[in-house]
Each structure stands twice: as structure tokens, then as C-alpha cells.
Amino acid sequence: MLRTIGLMSGTSLDGVDAAYLETDGETIQRIGPRLTLPYDPKLRRALRGLLDRAETLSETDPELLDAIRRITDRHAEAVEAIGLEADLVGFHGQTILHRPPVAGRNITPFTWQVGDAAALAKRTGMTVAYDFRSADVAAGGQGAPLVPVFHRALSAPLPKPLAILNLGGVANVTWLGPDGEMLAFDTGPANGPLDDWARQHTGKDYDAAGRLALAGQADGAVLGRLMAHPYLSAPPPKSLDRLDFDRALKDAGAAELSAADGAATLCAFCAVCVAAAARLFPEPPLQWLVAGGGRRNPAIMKALAGALEEPVRPVEVAGWDGDALEAQAFGLLAARVARGLPITFPGTTGVRRPLTGGRIVGSLL
């Protein structure tokens, strides 16, 4: 068993989640403390600006280099704040751009997570596993999602089939079958567009308690145009960049809606994307367990309950911590990297065979 600290900064750009886990990469022996350190508003704005410029961004851009330094410092503070010694730190970094292979599109696949793993290892004095996605993309995989193998380990005692939905900036789902089968992919936008909408119309970083969305009505015409997006009917494997639906939202006329109706429409769109994803499962799940920040938004949860036929519940009903799962996952993935175990699979990223990945700074004693 390895003592690990998993770190995650997701597409919501809200901060760093850190979680302690004791694991051999296949089973979980102990789940320890977790915490979240938010990014300050200035850093969040800087990161959001980098996303807009990512296609043409130079690796030597001064704003990018400053953001990398500040991101790394914040991750180091999270490791230190956990207050426990660890054998290994799993450092995902911050995704700036994700361009996976797409059938019929002549693009060079690319995934870009920023953060200085060597600096993190030096400051914390711990071995750091990082760069979890690149090997998969280089082998023709989507590079995402990475958490399904953790979901499988965590949910071992639960009845299957089971669907685990994570609502971050983008939503992703893991379908787990009764014989260990895994199918996972991004379903569509989640908190990302809603956060941008709230910031634009209210000046707040997100729609707290879904109050803005609950005050509005989803626009059926805009939803209909959005549901025609080819991504939603495409078979997995498939994954998204946080901004992939920005053009579709503009073309669908979302910008013309009121603040409340726009928020309600974005919540409804998240839910209908998940419902469309469910039609791609081998068989219906017995229930949906929901993790990520979106589970705290009553408007999204209400929309999901209306769109799905099975029970929809936060992961806390299973005794899990929905704010910690992704960080915990990178603790387990770090252990798998250290042990040379596969971290991506045909059913999760579309790679041809189970594939190892990740790199390590430092040495395990």
C-alpha cells in the first residue's frame, strides 16, 4: 500500500482539491482527510483568459508562466495543509487545452495540462506522479476520462449496473457493469458555461444554490437547436474541452435570453446531454450517483431527475465525499503509475488496449 495525496484542479477553475488515500492502485485501504483551497479571483480570471487564448498560446508567454508558478504554489500549499506524510503525490495540473482525436476531423490530437511537477516535488519533498493524459492521446486515445478505474475500485460493493456522473466544468459519466466492465465519456457541458453566464450577468463566479436558474424557464427553441449538436449522438469514446460548446451556445441564440432563462436553459441542457448519454449505455443503470460541484445546484439536480428514468442521488448516499472523488482518483492513479499498472482502457478513452501512462519526479524508496 502506498500513502498518496491526490490533487485536482478541474475545468471549473475554482481551486485545488487535495485528498489523502492509502492504496495499491487496485484496492483502497484507507480514505483520509481532504480539503479544498480556492484560487483567488485574480488567478481565476487569468486562467479563464488563458483558455480563450490557448490555441495560439506560447509556452513562454509571461502570463502563462506566472499562472504556472501560482498554480504550483497553490498545489504545494494544499499538500502541506493535508498535514500527512505521503509516499507519492498525484498532480494532474490545470488543463489549458484538450483536443482529442475526432472521427472525420483532420486535427492533431493534443492535451495540455500546466503545472511544474519538479517544483512541486522540491517544495514538498515528496515524489510526484504527473502527466497522466499524454501517453493515451499519443496512442490514439481520448486522454479522458481518467477516473473510471477509481470509480470501479470505490464502488466494488455496490449493485451494478451503476452510473457515476461528475458535474465539473464539463460533465463525464462512468458506467460500470456487473462483471467489471467500464464505459466512460464526457456527456457535455456542465458548470463551465453556467459559471461564465453567472459571471457575465451577476458578477458572481457561479450561480449559488441555483437561485438564478430556479427563477427562470428553460427555452425550448434554444434547447432544440443545442440538441442537434453532433457530439451528443456520436458514439463513445469521446471527450470535450471546456469551451467546445461555446460556439454552439452562441449560434443557438442563448445570448438573447434573460439572465434567469439563460441559466435555466443551461441547466436543462446539462441534463438532456446526460439523458442522451444514457442511451449509449449497454444497459440502464440501477441508479445514478452524482459528484462534483454541480450536485450542489438544485436546478441541475432537478433537471436531471426530470430527464432520467432511474433514481438520481448525490454520492453521499453511498458514503462517499462528492467534493473529494477526483482528488482521491489521482491518488489512486499515482499509485498505478508507480506500479506500472494501466490507467486508461478501451472502454474509457478508446485506446486499443489497457495502457500505462504518467511520469514520476523523484524516486520511491
Question: HEC states along 10-60?
Answer: CCCCCEEEEEEEEECCCCEEEEEEEEEEECCHHHHHHHHHHHHHHHHCCCC
Q: With a cut of 70, say whether residue 365 has pLDDT above it.
A: no
**Residue 8 confidence (pLDDT):** 96
Q: With a cut of 70, say whether residue 216 has pLDDT above it.
A: yes
Element (H, E) at 136: helix 134-138
Handedness of CA 214, 215, 221, 226 (dihedral sign): negative
**Residue 364 confidence (pLDDT):** 73
**Residue 105 confidence (pLDDT):** 67
Let me know: does 170 contact 145? Beta carbons within 8 Å: no
Separation CA 25–CA 128 (nearest Å)? 15
**Residue 84 confidence (pLDDT):** 96
Handedness of CA 154, 156, 157, 161 (dihedral sign): positive
Separation CA 239–CA 255 (nearest Å)? 25
Segment 172-201, tens digit of pLDDT: 999 999 999 999 999 999 999 999 999 999
Segment 325-361, tens digit of pLDDT: 999 999 999 999 999 999 999 999 999 999 999 999 9
pLDDT band, very low/low/confident/very high, at 103 (cuts 50, 70, 90): low
**Residue 156 confidence (pLDDT):** 95
**Residue 333 confidence (pLDDT):** 98
Mean pLDDT, rounded, of the chain:
95
Q: Residue 327: phi, psi to the nearest 5?
A: -65, -45
**Residue 4 confidence (pLDDT):** 98
Residue ranges for the binding site?
Answer: 10-17
Q: With a cut of 80, say whether residue 102 has pLDDT above it.
A: no
Separation CA 139–CA 270 (nearest Å)? 30
Can you tell me the mean pLDDT for 297-317?
97
Q: With a cut of 80, say whether residue 107 has pLDDT above it.
A: no
Whole-model pTM? 0.92
Can you tell me the mean pLDDT for 137-163?
96
Separation CA 249–CA 222 (nearest Å)? 8
Can you tell me the mean pLDDT for 59-82?
97
**Residue 240 confidence (pLDDT):** 86
**Residue 104 confidence (pLDDT):** 60
pLDDT cut 70: percent of the chain above it: 99
Residue ranges for the binding site for ATP?
Answer: 10-17
Q: Distance of CA 66 to CAs 60, 63, 98, 112, Å?
A: 10, 5, 21, 16
Q: With a cut of 70, say whether residue 266 has pLDDT above it.
A: yes
Q: With a cut of 90, say whether residue 206 has pLDDT above it.
A: yes
Can you tell me the mean pLDDT for 20-33?
98
Q: With a cut of 70, say whether residue 59 has pLDDT above it.
A: yes
Of 358, 362, 346, the closest CA to residue 93 belongs to 358
Can you tell me the mean pLDDT for 315-325?
96
pLDDT band, very low/low/confident/very high, at 246 (cuts 50, 70, 90): confident
Q: Residue 290: phi, psi to the nearest 5?
A: -115, 125
Region of 209 please: left (phi>0), alpha (psi -120 to 50) or beta.
Answer: left
Q: With a cut of 70, say whether residue 297 has pLDDT above it.
A: yes
